[in-house]
């Protein structure tokens, strides 16, 4: 094209053309950076919407298909195998296959060797093993199944033999200076290599890895808390032979950390048994640890054979001395089968329920004092009759509370429980109670303790 600038010499024209080309290159680079940032922002919005590890990995796989590939797989290293750096040692490698996504045609045409949420092993030499051992992306084609033994090998090797030279990209998932897993991508059409997209895929993987690592750490903390709480609740004290007991503990699920719900039975002299149920405020490992502290203090104070309201006073005084201990609600029930009675004292806990074989269920009136750990301890005791065949039900608020419902309406639901049937075990009765009263989607953990005097 001829220049329209009058009086421009040959050297000046070349400069103008060069400047135009430079500006075009700069514009293309600017547009590319803008597209890259927009994609990364989109990845940030769509990946990591929850603290569920499987959901987060599935979001990464869905983001990659069909945007980058026809099939995507996410695998996470087990906690005990997480390396200190960005590579792992050589040898057989084990990872958890957490997510798999594919375009419809490929999903129905080729089956992966292992479904999501299963453990797979990778022999040295397969794309996944090369990525894990080097800490760098593997970029190439899936070969025939010679790299593995056909059982638990990387899915891309096996799919490659079915598609024929399919382009494969395996990028590391890294967070906090550690390698936590891999993202594997496959394109079903030969000749469509990942060369131009590899850097962008790695950037997306780095963004997603932070969310995956947060979800992984959350899951580990939740598992630790549940194991701790399960161990603490697995060995309650033994009641006297004149008292039959049954108990349940139900965590509210993966949407929230386990809380500090607990129960205990303490065998006292003269055939008496002290029943305890409590709920430490908050969730997580700290709540479970505080729950154990309350439980140990309770055993110590109960050994002095004080009445229930004075036990609560001592507990409140001891725990209020430490700013580190969380407040807790608690209900004590001193059962005396020989006298057919039960003495109650409450520290801000929901009232007990009495199920009668010859009448409707009743919420027993118990004066409510402040939660333990506040230092305000002013507790009162009240005595109610407890005859054989009557069932005493102690529970935490997770059994009845609904966020959209007044607490009085929630408690009234317990009064509509059916009567205990002749010869019915407490285990069967608890099944009925939980099936009837438990919210469809509990917001809190549930602990229930049922007791019945035995003639």
At 174-212, the pLDDT tens digits run 988 889 999 999 888 777 778 788 889 999 999 999 999
Structure confidence at residue 12 (pLDDT): 57
Structure confidence at residue 294 (pLDDT): 87
DSSP string, 204-255: HHHHHHHHHHHHHHHHHHHHHHHHHHHHHHSSPPPPPTTEEEEEEEE---TT
Whole-model pTM: value is: 0.59
Structure confidence at residue 24 (pLDDT): 74
- Would you put residue 380 in left (φ > 0), alpha (ψ -120 to 50) or beta? beta
Which residues, including other chains, have CB under 8 Å from residue 41's CB and lie 6 or more apart? none
**277 pLDDT tier (thresholds 50, 70, 90):** very high
pLDDT value at 356 more than 50:
yes
Query: Of 235, 324, 328, 241, whose CA–CA distance to 286 is shortest?
Result: 324
Query: How far is Cα 192 from Cα 186, in angstroms, rounded to an integer?
Result: 10
**19 pLDDT tier (thresholds 50, 70, 90):** low
pLDDT value at 217 more than 90:
no
CATH classification for the domain delimited by 24-221, as one of 3.30.450.40, 3.30.70.270, 3.30.365.10, 3.30.930.10: 3.30.450.40
Q: Between 101 and 9, whose confidence is greater?
A: 101
What percent of the chain stands above pLDDT 70? 79
Q: Decide if 256 contacts 287 (C-beta within 8 A).
A: no
The mean per-residue pLDDT over the stretch 16-29 comes to: 65
DSSP string, 413-435: GGGGPPPPPTT--HHHHHHHHHH
Q: Decide if 216 contacts 176 (C-beta within 8 A).
A: no
Query: How far is Cα 287 from Cα 260, in angstroms, rounded to an integer?
Result: 5
The mean per-residue pLDDT over the stretch 367-372 comes to: 94
Residue 23 parent element (H or E): helix 10-46
Structure confidence at residue 284 (pLDDT): 67
Structure confidence at residue 20 (pLDDT): 54
* Domain 235-453 indexed as CATH 3.40.50.720: no
Tokens of 331: 């209900």
Query: Of 248, 275, 244, whose CA–CA distance to 423 is shortest?
Result: 244
**237 pLDDT tier (thresholds 50, 70, 90):** low
pLDDT value at 151 more than 70:
no
**122 pLDDT tier (thresholds 50, 70, 90):** confident
Burial 153-182 (b: 16+ CB within 10 A, else e): bbbbbbbbeebeebbbbbbbbbbeeebbbb
**281 pLDDT tier (thresholds 50, 70, 90):** confident
Query: How far is Cα 353 from Cα 355, in angstroms, rounded to an integer?
Result: 6
pLDDT value at 163 more than 90:
no
Residue 124 parent element (H or E): none
Looking at every residue in the chain, the average pLDDT score rounds to: 81
Domain boundaries, the chain: 24-221, 235-453
Pairing outcome for strands 138-141 and 273-283: unpaired
Query: Of 285, 271, 280, whose CA–CA distance to 330 is shortest?
Result: 280
Tell me the β-bridge partners of 283.
259
Which range of 162-171, 235-244, 261-270, 433-442 scores highest in mean pLDDT? It is 261-270
């Amino acid at each position: 094209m001829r220049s329209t600038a009058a009086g421009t010499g040959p050297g000046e024209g070349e400069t103008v053309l060069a400047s135009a080309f430079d500006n075009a290159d700069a514009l293309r680079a600017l547009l590319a950076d803008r597209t890259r940032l927009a994609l990364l922002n989109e990845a940030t919005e769509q990946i990591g919407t929850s603290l569920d590890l499987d959901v987060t990995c599935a979001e990464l796989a869905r983001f990659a298909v069909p945007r980058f590939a026809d099939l995507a797989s996410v695998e996470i290293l087990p906690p005990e195998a997480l390396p200190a750096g960005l590579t792992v040692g050589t040898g057989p490698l084990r990872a958890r296959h957490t997510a798999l996504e594919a375009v419809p045609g490929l999903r129905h045409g080729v089956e992966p060797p292992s479904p999501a949420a299963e453990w797979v092993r990778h022999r040295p030499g397969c794309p996944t093993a090369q990525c894990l051992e080097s800490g760098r992306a593997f970029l190439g084609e899936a070969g025939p199944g010679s790299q593995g033994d056909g059982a638990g090998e990387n899915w891309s090797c096996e799919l490659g033999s079915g598609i024929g030279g399919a382009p494969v990209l395996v990028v590391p998932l890294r967070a906090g200076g550690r390698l936590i897993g891999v993202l594997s991508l496959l394109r079903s059409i030969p000749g469509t290599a990942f060369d131009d997209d590899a850097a962008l895929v790695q950037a997306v993987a780095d963004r997603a890895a932070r969310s995956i690592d947060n979800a992984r750490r959350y899951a580990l903390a939740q598992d630790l808390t549940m194991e701790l709480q399960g161990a603490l609740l697995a060995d309650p004290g033994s009641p006297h032979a004149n008292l039959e007991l049954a108990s349940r503990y139900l965590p509210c699920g993966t949407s929230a950390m386990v809380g500090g719900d607990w129960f205990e039975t303490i065998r006292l002299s003269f055939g008496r048994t002290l029943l305890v149920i409590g709920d430490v405020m908050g969730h997580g490992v700290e709540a479970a640890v505080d729950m154990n502290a309350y439980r140990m203090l309770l055993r110590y104070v109960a050994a002095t054979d004080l009445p229930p309201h004075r036990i609560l006073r001592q507990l409140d005084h001891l725990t209020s001395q430490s700013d580190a201990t969380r407040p807790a609600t608690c209900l004590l029930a001193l059962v005396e089968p020989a006298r057919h009675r039960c003495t109650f004292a409450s520290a801000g806990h929901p009232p007990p329920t009495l199920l009668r074989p010859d009448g409707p269920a009743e919420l027993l009136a118990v004066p409510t004092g402040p939660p333990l750990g506040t230092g305000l301890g002013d507790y009162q005791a009240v005595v109610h009759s407890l005859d054989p065949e009557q069932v005493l039900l102690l529970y935490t608020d997770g059994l009845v509370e609904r966020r959209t419902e007044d607490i009085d309406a929630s408690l009234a639901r317990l009064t509509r429980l059916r009567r205990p049937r002749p010869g019915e075990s407490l285990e069967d009765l608890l099944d009925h109670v939980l099936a009837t009263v438990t919210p469809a989607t509990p917001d809190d953990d549930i602990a229930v303790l049922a007791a019945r005097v035995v003639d």
